[in-house]
């Protein structure tokens, strides 16, 4: 009888242990799957950020090229040539200088100020500034 009780107790213990082990394995698998899902979402998010950065860079380059084309176009040709000859360059104001093409030459001529070496009229500068503003 004692052996029967002992055998029953051992069988019950094994069954309980197996159920506990099974529960632990299920939790582990659930955790693994959750981790895989989180990694996949992170990967997707990184891809979206990279795509957004690439789009923003493409837009910036497109705007830059459009701006270059406008500055080289008929609305700006004369005044830009004279500003360039006088030492003004695109983006020259960004490094703390006062030799920016638009900010320091075109804008000043457009306001009616005289700029050394520039004979273009206020109307020439305003036409160019309008073309830049309109993007045409």
The tens digit of pLDDT for each residue in 28-59 reads 888 888 898 999 999 999 999 999 999 999 99
Distance of CA 128 to the CA centre of its chain: 29
User: Could you give the angle at which helices 77-85 and 122-134 cross, rounded to 10 degrees?
Assistant: 110
User: Does the pTM exceed 0.85?
Assistant: no
pLDDT per residue over 77-113, tens digit each? Answer: 999 999 999 999 988 878 777 899 999 999 999 999 9
User: What pLDDT was estimated at residue 91?
Assistant: 85
Structure tokens at 50: 């990279």
**Residue 89 phi/psi, 5° resolution?**
-135, 150
Which structure tokens are listed for 135? Answer: 């993007």
């Amino acid at each position: 009888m004692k052996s029967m009780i002992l055998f029953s107790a051992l069988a019950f213990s094994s069954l309980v242990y197996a159920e506990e082990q099974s529960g632990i394995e299920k939790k582990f698998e659930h955790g693994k799957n959750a981790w895989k899902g989180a990694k996949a979402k992170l990967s997707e998010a990184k891809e979206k950020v990279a795509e957004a950065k690439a789009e923003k860079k493409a837009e910036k380059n497109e705007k830059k090229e459009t701006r270059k084309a406008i500055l080289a176009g008929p609305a700006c040709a004369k005044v830009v040539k004279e500003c360039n000859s006088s030492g003004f360059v695109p983006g020259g104001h960004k490094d703390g200088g006062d030799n920016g093409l638009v900010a320091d030459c075109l804008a000043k001529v457009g306001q009616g100020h005289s700029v050394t070496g520039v004979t273009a009229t206020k109307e020439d500068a305003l036409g160019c500034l309008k073309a830049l503003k309109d993007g045409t």
